Chains A and B, each alone.
Chain A
Amino acid sequence: MTSTTDAPAASGATPASPAGGPGLSAEEVARLRADFPILDQEVSGEPLAYLDWAATAQRPRQVLDAERRFLEESNAAVHRGAHTLAALATEAYEDARETVARFVHAPADEIVWTANATDALNLVAHAFQAATLGRGGEAAARFRLLPGDEIVVTEAEHHADLVPWQELAATTGAVLRWVPVDDDGCWTADDAAAVIGERTRVVAFAHVSNVTGMVAPVEAVVALAHAVGALVVLDACQSAPHRPLDLPALGVDLAAFSGHKMLGPTGVGVLWGRRELLDAMPPFRTGGSMISTVTMEGSDYLPAPQRFEAGTQPVSQAVALAEAVRYLEAVGLDRVRAHEEALAERLVRGLAAIDGVRVVGPPAGVPRSGLAAFVVEGVHAHDVGQYLDALGIAARVGHHCAQPLHRRLGVTATTRASTYLTTTDDEVDRLLAGVAAVRGYFGVVDATAGGADGPAAGLALDGSVA
């Protein structure tokens, strides 16, 4: 399962460029798009412009084929049985772990398969809870919380990196504190420094915000946290798919990301943790495959990562995720990043130039990941999304699992466009044209003052943008 014969078209032909260097040419993007059958279709009579990659990424044929090939040729229960297929399946499964480990520059035994990133973050929060209840003995002392100990998150967190910590605080007597965000939904290392203190035991935050696209000052926060002996948990869901990621070098202690946001399947996520921490953490889900000895009185657990992999695992999904990693590596994560940063700049500048549109997150010119959430004054995000869908444009609307952030921004919902390696300038421009016509359609702007031709202006019945 290490074959790279199905590597993407860009592989080999165009060597990776240094960070900050050029992204992907239009020709390369066109070749990559041919790997994604789902993109080649019409929605509402228009070519689909999929701009919801941050919610879930589409999968290239290579990833779909890898999963099917595994299931057709080597599927079996892993880590048990002596037959040939069991050995092949186990090999593929563990090879996938090595591939993902290489992707984040970590040793393979520091990679734990989870159901998704939410599951991974719950695993970590649960380790603190179990340790606080006395599980894990002295080894787990770093995870033990005393009443008044502090858990620090940010106001911009995805619910997956907030609610588990709220539960942990509620069940242990620890205090949840948060780094506030500014009017753009952003926060700085200084903001974090004002919250992280002597009682802080864990600091959890997103590497890249799924709403603002802000890139967190990871190294500064790590320094602040480690100075007070706190552990750092990184939500890498929006960074792992989109930029080179060296987790050990970042200095964080634990990190979570998700398969389906990086061209892989749903049902598989990853927890990375420093070896000594994983080995000290009490298990989350318990049962088969994670034990060494079981008696009626009690059980001994395997070391990490197996300790955290109870029950039947997402084997074909892990194998397919490894293929997704190879696909991304063949393109080059630094080039993916450069491509998306250029798209984000186009997106943010374009949106900011439209009357009545407010972009949240870093202003134009400040680096952000390849997404932008925005508010169209006078038109609810749900209506914006519906209007865009009628133009064949798939954008996300709602609170994006970040209600506190939206509350802080003074809105219940935003519209979000998010890009990836296959996104074209034309798709971004179509979104911009669609957004520019939204207020006219809903009659929010005066027909003459707004530059529109009255209700329904900008949207001809054939769906084209005027």
Chain B
Amino acid sequence: MSALDGLYQQVILDHARARKGEGPLPGADAEHFERNPTCGDEVTVRLALEPGTDRVRELRWEGSGCSISMGAASVLGELAVGRSLPELRVLVDAYRAMLRSRGADVEPDEELLGDAVAFQGVSKFVMRVKCGMLAWVAAEACVAELATG
């Protein structure tokens, strides 16, 4: 597989086109906006919890950007649902560690990361790590907000 095909895995391109979790979320418990000023990509992530719990009922997002940032938001929208806030934080940490591995040959935890393992190729493209992290950083901020609030 060429490096480019490693970056643009079919899973990512599919998610970037047929986006999961895209749209508004009225009555969200947390909301965070992230913008990458160098390329203009932006995303707003909203989280709603199951009433009386710390479990994610729904994660929805709105934004615009490249296939990596949009694909990553879509995968997140799918993976976040049903997780507790601490579990979501573990997921984000694992995803970040994978993206920051700079192409090192480490096996990501497929069980934990699911479709997000497709983003392993992004780690070889340092300039694109921010794209892959955009929505995930916004979700992390939502988690932090709910944890302290």
Contacts and interface: CB of A to CB of B under 8 A. Distances in A.
Interface stretch (B35-43, B74-82, B106-114): B35-43
A394 to B, nearest CB: 13
B148 to A, nearest CB: 32
A455 B13 contact: yes
A387 B2 CA distance: 11
A301 interface: no
Contact of B2 (A397, A398, A399, A463): A463
A390 B39 contact: no
B40 A398 contact: yes
B10 A455 contact: yes
Given A390-B3, A442-B13, A383 B67 contact: yes
A443 B128 CA distance: 20
B66 interface: yes
B4 interface: yes
Interface string A311-334: 000000000000000000000000
A382 B66 contact: yes
Contacts of A306: none
B59 interface: no
A380 B3 contact: no
A399 B66 contact: no
B66 A383 contact: yes
Contact of B40 (A390, A412, A456): A412
A387 B4 contact: yes
B3 A44 contact: yes
B7 to A, nearest CB: 7
Of B13, B17, B65, B66, chain A has the most CB atoms within 10 Å of the CB of B66
Interface string B1-39: 111110110100100010000000000000000000011
Contacts, number: 58
A456 to B, nearest CB: 7
Contacts of A441: 8
Contacts of B67: 379-380, 383, 442
B41 A382 contact: yes
B137 interface: no
A463 B1 CA distance: 11
Interface in A376-400: 379-383, 386-387, 390, 397-399
Contacts of B131: 382
A50 B83 CA distance: 47
A413 interface: yes
A386 B125 contact: yes
B41 A443 contact: no
A413 B4 contact: no
Nearest to A378: B17
Interface of A: 44, 379-383, 386-387, 390, 397-399, 403, 406, 412-413, 441-443, 455-456, 459, 461, 463
18 contacts: A44-B3, A380-B67, A381-B39, A382-B65, A382-B128, A382-B131, A383-B68, A390-B3, A390-B4, A398-B40, A399-B39, A413-B39, A441-B8, A442-B8, A442-B13, A443-B13, A455-B13, A463-B2
Interface of B: 1-5, 7-8, 10, 13, 17, 38-41, 64-68, 70, 125, 128, 131
